[in-house]
Structure formats: C-alpha cells, structure tokens
Amino acid sequence: MNTSQKSTLAALVLGLTYAFLFYHGEIGLNVLLFDALLIGLALRVRPELGKHPSFIWAVGGLLFSAGSVVIVHGQVSIWAHHLTYFLVLGFAQSRELRFVWFALLLGVGSLFEAPLRQWRRWKTIRRQQDIHSSPVALPWLKQAVIPSLVLVPFVLLYVAANDQFAYGLNVFLSYLSNFSINTNVWWSLLLILFGGVLALGFFYPRIDVSRLVKQQLGFQDKLVRQRPERTQLPRPATQLSLHPRPRQKTLALKTEYRQAVLTFGLLNLLLAAVNATDLHYVWLNPGKLSAATLSQYVHQGTWNLMLSIGLAMLVVLYYFRGNLNFLQDSPYLAPLAKLWMIQNGILALSVGIRNWHYIDAYGLALGRVQIAFVLLLILFGLFTLFRKIRDRLTLTYLLQTNGMAAWLCLLLFAAINWSCVVTRYNLSAQTADEVDWNYLVYELPPDNAFLLHDYPGGKDLMEHKRLSNQQAITDWRSWNYADWRNAE
C-alpha cells in the first residue's frame, strides 16, 4: 500500500471515528480520543513529522488542551483546544515552519485548502486515466437515454389499456415517493465528511512551498544594520579638495535621535509622577482609598493603564526599528528607553496591587483573574522589549516570543477550573453575608454547584445550577470530570 492509499484510508477511518464519537454526544472524552488517533495515524503515515520539533511541542499542547477539555470542560478550554489544533495543522504543512503566527494562519488556510487540493488531485488522476480504464457503467448509461425516451409513450399506452398494470405501476411509484433516507443517516454522513475534512490537511500537505514559509526564511533574531548602496558620481575638479559633506542619512538619524531622547525624557518624567502617586496611595497607604475610588481604579483605571503600557511598547518599537540602534555617540537613548520599560513594569505591578486590594475587599471574580494573566503577559512583553533594546533584536523575535508566551498562558488558564477556584476563595474568605451569591449562582458557569451544597439554601442553589447545565453527560463519549463531579 503506497502513501496515497494509506492517507486516504487514514482520513476515512478518522471520518468514521469522528461520527462514532460525536454523534448525539457532547464534547468530552471524545475530543481526547479523536486527537490521540489523529496524531497516531499522522505519525504512522508521515513519520517525518516526528523529526519536526515545532510539530512535536504543538502536539503536546494539543493533547494537554484536550485533557483540559475532559477535566475542566470550560469554554476557554474548548477554544484553547481548537486554536492549538490549527497550530498543529499549520506545522504539519512544512518542516521549515517555525514562526507561530504563520503556523496559525497556515493551519486555518489548510483546513479549507486540503479538500480542494484533494479534489484537484482526483480530477488530474481522472484526466490521466486511459479511456479503456474508465468505468464500464458510464457508456451504458449514455446509451440508455434514447431507449428510455422511446419507452415513455408505450408505458402511457399500456397504462390506458390495462387497469391491473396501471394499478401495479401506481403502487410501485407510490412506494418510491414514500421512500426517504432517515435524518440520522444524513447526520452521520455529515459527521463523517467533517471528520475527514479535519484530518485531510495532516495526510495531504501542501506540495509547493507556501509564501509564508518563504517569507519566514528571511527572519532572524539579531537586528542587522541596513547600509544603503553607494553610487560613485563624478565630481567637478573644483570640489576634489573640499571636505566631504555629512551624509544625509546620518543627519536624519541624528535628528531622529534627538527627537527620541526628548520623547523618552518627557515620558519618563510623566510616568515618574504617576508612579509616585501610585506608590503613595496604592502601595503604602491603601487604607485611604474609599470603596468608590477603589472600584474606579479597577474597573476603569486598570484597562486605561494597560492601554498606556501597550502604547509605550509601540513607541519603543517605532524608535528602535532600524539603524537608530547602531548610531554612534548616542549615550542617552538606550538608558532612557530602558528606564521607560522599568517604569512601565512598576506601573503594571501597581495595577496588580490595585487588583489585589479590590479582591481583598470584594472577593474574587473571573474578570480579576483575567486581569492577573494579562498583567503577567505585559510584564513578560516588557522584559522581551528590554532585551530587544539591550541586544538589538528584531520585531520577529518579539512576535515569536510573545506569541508563544500568549499561547502557553492560554493553555495554563484553560487548564484550571476558575469557577471552582473563585467559589472556594469567596466562601472561605468572606462571611455568608459578604458573599455575592448572585454572582456565584447566576453568573459563574455551573461547575461550582457541588460547592454550594453545605451553605444556607445551598441545596436549592445547587439544583438551580444543575438544571441550568444543559451539557449533561449522555454516555461515556461525553464524559468529563466537571459534570461527573456535579452529578454525584
């Protein structure tokens, strides 16, 4: 059996498996089983994928996220799994692919391109086949068109002349008109087709080199100085003894350098004033903040400050995008930019402390957990930006490093049942009167129902959470730990 036949058989097996695992079933254990079979068959048919490091760690993330779907069974877990599937599919298209953002784009594109590639491949094979190897039934069907037309008037005449023949023909035609394919069959065929489409990209990768892969080949981490090509122009004899004029490029860089120094100097002074205010009111004297001020700090000030940090990163990227990194006699720019990064890090920590004070006063919520994860990504981004300035690194280094960090952070966030974490924290850190029961019961996902059982009115609350959970386990294919624990 050649590789093409193995690929077709593997795609068919995966399509049938997908229909079996997901027909009349919710997402649960079936996700992990399908992923394991998909990866196993892909490595069996294309063993070279096992030598592709990016594909291997993406597969690890896929199986980890599938495990999170089984254990946590949250919306974030499901989205993290689907996103990781596209990463794995993208890396399966080319061994040279390393850039995580291009892998994501190539994975999304391959989901739609793989069926089209297979269709074109099948048409090409059909054209190349000899006329004698064509199906035997097709010529006969063409030959039967005219005899069938000749048969029609005779049938009408026989029907008019023979009542018994007319009755029998009517019974036969009524049977054909009542014949229909069961809806379950249609759904099964649709699931088989969808499962096959999900698998095709792994077994029929791109033959030509993608434009994204070609573009990635020029990526590097170290910034390279761009030197303009010089053209030797003849000079008049009267100018040969004069000193050469300063190059226009150097003058432009020095002008940009002075502009950058002035910009970072003013921004550092402004941010120092903001950090001094936070240091006094947020770090050292948090008790002076009223409830209204603390609420405004978190719900409005937090996102405004994080937006300002994002703009600060763009400012640094603009000024350190090219040859300004290599300008001689520029002693102030890099220190001022590094100081600006450090001050933005302090600002991010201040936002985190604001968030903590609000949690201490009003309890934990999913939004406050999300703020903490975003702040971790911002601090990591500031660190990589600091490295870019210090080591003269490229924008692609920042995108690759921070893209990987964002993906890993998403996998970590999706692997924890935050509904239960929030409920446990609030029930242990607050009294029954302080607990926001409306938030725990009506706004959080129903995974925390079992935690409400031992509290006043907890049985009624628990029953409400259970009834609101429409994704109950139907059979072993849909099994997941979160629903199973609530069903005990």
Residues 444 and 345 in one domain: no
Q: Give dist(CA 293, CA 273) in Å, integer.
A: 19
Supply the range of the domain harboring residue 119. 3-131+186-212
Q: What is the pLDDT along the chain (488 residues), one digit of tens a residue?
A: 778 888 889 999 999 999 999 988 889 999 999 999 999 999 999 999 999 999 999 999 999 999 999 999 989 999 999 999 999 999 999 888 889 999 999 999 999 888 888 887 777 776 766 544 555 555 566 566 677 767 777 777 777 777 787 888 787 777 666 655 566 777 888 999 999 999 999 998 888 888 888 888 878 878 776 665 554 445 544 444 344 444 556 677 788 888 889 999 999 999 999 999 888 888 877 776 666 677 777 666 677 777 888 888 888 888 888 777 777 777 888 899 999 889 989 988 988 888 888 888 888 999 889 989 999 999 999 999 999 888 888 888 999 999 999 999 999 999 999 999 999 999 888 887 888 888 888 888 878 778 877 676 556 666 655 554 544 556 889 899 988 887 76
β-partners of residue 393 are: 222
378 shares its domain with 440: no
300 and 202 in a common domain: no
User: Does 372 share its domain with 467?
Assistant: no
pLDDT of residue 342: 92
Residues whose CB is less than 8 angstroms from the CB of residue 267 and which lie 6 or more positions away in sequence, other chains included: 312, 315, 340
Bridge partners, residue 222, by sequence: 393
- Phi/psi at 467 (5° precision): -65, -30
Q: Is the pTM of this model over 0.85?
A: no
Q: What is the pLDDT of residue 143?
A: 67
Judgement on whether residues 64 and 201 belong to the same structural domain of the protein: yes
How many of the other CB atoms lie within 10 Å of CB of 36? 13
Same domain? 261 vs 326: yes
Distance from C-alpha of 204 to C-alpha of 42, rounded to nearest angstrom? 10
Residue 78, domain member (yes or no): yes
pLDDT value for 242: 40
Residue 151, in any domain of the structure: no
Give the largest CA-CA distance in the chain: 120
239 in a structural domain: no
- In terms of domains, do 326 and 372 share one? yes
In this structure, is residue 181 part of a structural domain? no
Domain boundary among 357, 378, 393: 393
| Amino acid at the residue 247 | R
Closest CA to 76 of 474, 370, 422, 479: 370
Assign 3-class secondary structure to the chain: CCHHHHHHHHHHHHHHHHHHHHCCCCCCHHHHHHHHHHHHHHHHHCHHHHHCHHHHHHHHHHHHHHHHHHHCCCHHHHHHHHHHHHHHHHHCCCCCCCCHHHHHHHHHHHHHHHHHHHHHHHHHHHHHCCHHHCCCHHHHHHHCHHHHHHHHHHHHHHHHHCHHHHHHHHHHHHHHHHCCCCHHHHHHHHHHHHHHHHHHHHHCCCCCCCHHHHHHCCCCCECCCCCCCCCCCCCCHHHCCCCCCCCHHHHHHHHHHHHHHHHHHHHHHHHHHHHHHHHHHHHHCHHHCCHHHHHHHHHHHHHHHHHHHHHHHHHHHHHCCCHHHHCCCCCCHHHHHHHHHHHHHHHHHHHHHHHHHHHHHHCCCHHHHHHHHHHHHHHHHHHHHHHHHHHCECHHHHHHHHHHHHHHHHHHHHCCCHHHHHHHHHHHHCCCCCCCHHHHHHHCCHHHHHHHCCCCCHHHHHHHHHHHCCCCCCCHHHCCHHHHHHHC
Model pLDDT, residue 482: 87
- In this structure, the answer to whether residues 389 and 424 fall within a common structural domain is no
52 and 193: one domain?
Answer: yes
CB 460 within 8 A of CB 449: no
| Residue 409 included in any domain | no
The CA-based angle 300-306-312, given to 5 degrees, is 135
From CA 271, how far away is CA 258, in angstroms rounded?
Answer: 20
Q: Quick check: is 425 in a domain?
A: yes
User: CA 7, 12, 13 angle in degrees (round to 5)?
Assistant: 100
474 and 342 fall within a common domain? no
Give the C-alpha separation, 115 to 121, whole Å.
10
- Claim to verify: residue 425 and residue 293 sit in the same structural domain: no
Domain assignment present for 240: no
pLDDT value, residue 229: 54
User: Are 18 and 191 contacting, i.e. CB atoms less than 8 angstroms apart?
Assistant: yes
| CB of 144 closer than 8 Å to CB of 124 | no
Residue 408 lies in a domain: no
Distance CA 65, CA 76 (A): 10
Mark whether 29 and 67 lie in a shared domain. Answer: yes
Q: How far apart are CA 223 and CA 220, in angstroms?
A: 8
Domain count, the chain: 3
